[in-house]
């Protein structure tokens, strides 16, 4: 909204006073800070309301380790605080003319709605099962198709034409060497990335602070990736011109050998809002948690990260950025497949963090080690830019 204000005033006498809003670097920092502040201010009152409305209701699965049973009575639906921060920061500082911003907000809100239904059913029926998995998948797929065919397609030519690139960027390989085009098959691949990431974050949300910190780290990495892929800023480079070494300006994305993303800088503002909202939530969710994220938060955050991976053309790289989430969902898939095929379990309990709990590792140690792994994977992902 503030960016639209700048655009309406930039040619007038007062335009010079709002000139700072033209810079994405300022707006992404401002979005992160504003998301953090709104979360910190709204958090205490929201948590009190959730505690009163959910008094006496259990939000903890019966099959989790014994240490989790002590957390009964801790309110859930805390992800609504995260959504408040994300929408507040993005709507305030992003360019609302950008199509990709609305795609990201639609997916975040839609997946948050799906998670809310799940949480509401758990609370209203006093049953930890909530919304059946197949119904979650239907809603996730519906919102994905709505975003792709409603906002990312051009229908004016008599048929749908995708407005996003259907090529894949391969980590550590310049796009000029490996840039496979999937055509319409890309829609199915993107669906796997988005829905898979959403469910992976949901499965990771099992310990205090476990899901939110890797989410923030991933969002911070994507802030950098989106900015460099979408900015028009050029950097100095040396090229041979008529046999003479000449200093020329080269766009950042071209210098790094990555795909140019229209609206990438605005996606960076969205990602920064996730970071700010995540920090404010971690203030209340760190061990021992005052509030649980719930599916309204985990499904929404996973959907947001998967959508950003799709829009920024980092679908393959997201397997590294989201390595912790990937390990969690793979542990469940391996456990289920092994038990059905052999009758034996590979892990003591799935998802993976429960395996370490059953092995005797403390909750805080597991959480911090998962954070460290997330930082390492984020560093590897950023290193892939230069190594291209």
Closest by Cα among 36, 114, 46, 106 to 78: 46
Q: Is 373 in contact with 324 (CB distance < 8 Å)?
A: yes
Q: What is the average per-residue pLDDT within 174-184? A: 84
Reply yes or no on whether the pLDDT at 119 is more than 80. yes
Instruction: Give the three-class secondary structure for 238.
Output: strand
Provide the pLDDT for residue 242: 62
User: Before 373, cis peptide (omega within 30)?
Assistant: no
pLDDT tens string 56-98: 455 555 555 555 555 667 888 999 999 999 999 999 999 999 9
Other C-beta atoms within 10 Å of 147: how many?
24
Percentage of residues in the chain with pLDDT exceeding 90? 68
At 53, is the pLDDT very low, low, confident or very high (cuts 50, 70, 90)? Answer: confident
Is residue 354, in this structure, part of any structural domain at all?
Answer: no
**Domains in the chain: how many in total?**
1
Beta strands (DSSP E) in 178-308 are 234-241, 244-251
- Residue located via tokens 């799709």: 310
Read off the pLDDT of each residue in 161-178 and give the average, rounded to a whole number: 85
pLDDT of residue 12: 74
Confidence of residue 212 (pLDDT cuts 50, 70, 90): very high
Say how far residue 376 (Cα) sits from the centre of its chain.
Answer: 18
Among 240, 244, 269, CA closest to 90: 269
The per-residue pLDDT of the chain, averaged, comes to: 89
pLDDT band at 158 (very low <50, low <70, confident <90, very high): confident
Which structural domain range is residue 11 located in? 2-326+363-386
Indicate whether 354 pLDDT > 80: yes
**What was the pLDDT predicted at 159?**
79
pLDDT (mean) for 280-287: 91
Task: Answer yes or no: is 355 within a domain.
Answer: no
Q: Residue 208: helix, strand or coil by DSSP? A: coil
Q: Which residue has the tokens 């053309």?
A: 313
On whether the pTM is more than 0.85, the answer is yes
Residue 6 lies in a domain: yes
Residue 331: per-residue pLDDT: 96
Residue 148 is assigned to a structural domain of this protein: yes
- How sure is the predictor about 234, in pLDDT bands with cuts at 50, 70 and 90? low
- Cβ atoms of residues 326 and 200 within 8 Å: yes
Sign of the CA dihedral running 55, 60, 65, 68? negative
Confidence band (pLDDT; 50, 70, 90) for 30?
Answer: very high
Q: To the nearest 10°, the Cα dihedral for 198, 204, 205, 210?
A: -130
Per-residue pLDDT at 172: 84
Higher pLDDT, residue 374 or 7:
374
Residue 295 has pLDDT above 90, yes or no: yes
Rounded to 10°, the helix 24-53/79-93 angle is: 150
- Is 74 among the domain residues? yes
Is residue 385 very low, low, confident or very high in pLDDT (cuts 50, 70, 90)?
confident
The residues, ordered by sequence, that sit 6+ positions from 202 with a Cβ below 8 Å of its Cβ are 115, 295, 298, 299, 302
338 belongs to a structural domain? no
Residue 124: the pLDDT is: 85
pLDDT at 239 over 90: no
Closest to 388 (Cα-Cα) out of 259, 257, 236 = 257
Q: What is the DSSP string of 75-128?
A: ---THHHHHHHHHHHHHHHS-TT-HHHHHHHHHHHHHHHHHHHHHHHHHHTT-T
CA dist., res. 327 & res. 197, Å (int): 11
More reliable by pLDDT, 155 or 90: 90
- Confidence check: pLDDT of 127 > 80: no
Within a domain: 95:
yes
Six token digits for residue 134: 């197949």
Q: Is residue 237 part of a domain?
A: yes
């Amino acid at each position: 909204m503030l960016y639209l204000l700048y655009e309406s005033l930039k040619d007038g006498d007062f335009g010079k006073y709002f000139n700072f809003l033209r810079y994405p670097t300022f707006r992404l920092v401002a979005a992160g800070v504003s998301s953090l502040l709104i979360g910190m201010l709204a958090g205490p009152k929201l948590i009190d309301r959730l505690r009163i409305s959910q008094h006496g209701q259990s939000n903890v699965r019966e099959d989790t380790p014994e240490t989790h049973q002590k957390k009964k009575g801790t309110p859930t639906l805390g992800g609504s605080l995260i959504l408040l921060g994300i929408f507040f920061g993005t709507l305030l500082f992003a360019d609302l003319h950008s199509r990709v911003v609305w795609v990201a907000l639609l997916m975040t809100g839609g997946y948050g709605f799906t998670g809310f239904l799940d949480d509401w059913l758990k609370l209203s029926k006093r049953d930890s099962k909530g919304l059946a998995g197949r119904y979650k998948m239907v809603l996730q797929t519906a919102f994905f198709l709505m975003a792709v065919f409603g906002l990312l397609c051009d229908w004016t030519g008599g048929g749908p034409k995708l407005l996003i690139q259907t090529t894949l960027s391969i980590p550590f390989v310049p796009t000029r060497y490996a840039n496979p085009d999937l055509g319409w098959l890309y829609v199915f691949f993107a669906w796997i990335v988005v829905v898979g990431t959403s469910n992976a974050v949901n499965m990771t949300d099992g310990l205090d602070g476990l899901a939110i910190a890797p989410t923030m780290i991933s969002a911070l990495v994507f802030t950098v990736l989106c900015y460099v892929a979408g900015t028009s800023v050029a950097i100095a480079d040396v090229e041979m011109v008529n046999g003479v070494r000449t200093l020329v300006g080269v766009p950042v994305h071209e210098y790094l050998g990555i795909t140019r993303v229209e609206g990438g800088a605005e996606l960076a503002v969205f990602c920064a809002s996730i970071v700010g909202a995540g920090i404010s939530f971690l203030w209340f969710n760190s061990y021992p948690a005052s509030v649980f994220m719930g599916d309204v938060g985990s499904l929404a955050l996973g959907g947001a990260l998967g959508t950003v991976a799709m829009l920024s053309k980092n679908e393959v790289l997201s397997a590294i950025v989201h390595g912790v989430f990937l390990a969690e969902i793979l542990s469940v898939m391996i456990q289920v497949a092994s038990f059905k095929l052999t009758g034996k379990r590979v892990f003591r309990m799935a998802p993976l963090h429960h395996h370490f709990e059953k092995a005797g590792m403390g909750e805080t140690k597991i959480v911090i080690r998962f954070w460290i792994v997330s930082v390492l994977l984020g560093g590897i992902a950023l290193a892939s830019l230069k190594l291209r």
